[in-house]
Amino acid sequence: MKGKAQQVSTNDLQLELKYCERCGGLWLRPVGGGQIYCATCGREMAQLPPPSKDRETAQLPQGPRWDMDEGDAEVERDEDLDLDAGGGLA
């Protein structure tokens, strides 16, 4: 058998374990495959409308401000406090 070259099968299918990014179920996909959903969720996701191209950044609703302006309150400094005043805990 010196003159015959060995043929290597290149039809080996390699799979990797993947979790569905919708339902969390585990399934196998070809290595390097781009599927992120299992077959069931993939069919359901394909029936949804495509995402809107006019995406706005999500923002919290703006309500009234509860903080005070700088002139509305006086800020006490540590040096203005009398730490030796009576009535404290000993």
Helix (H, G, I), strand (E, B) or coil at 42: helix
How far, in whole angstroms, is CA 5 from its chain's centroid?
52
The domain spans of the chain are: 14-48
Centre a 10 Å sphere on the Cβ of residue 38 and count the other Cβ atoms it contains: 21
Between these two residues, 62 and 10, which has the higher pLDDT value?
Answer: 62
d(CA 66, CA 16): 54
Write down the pLDDT at residue 1. 46
Looking at residues 44-49, what average pLDDT do you find? Answer: 93
Distance CA 11, CA 21 (A): 29
pLDDT band at 25 (very low <50, low <70, confident <90, very high): very high
pTM given for the model: 0.45
**Does the pLDDT value for residue 4 go beyond 80?**
no
- Tokens 């609703």 belong to which residue? 61
Residue 45 CA to its chain's centroid (Å): 19
More confident residue, 21 or 83: 21
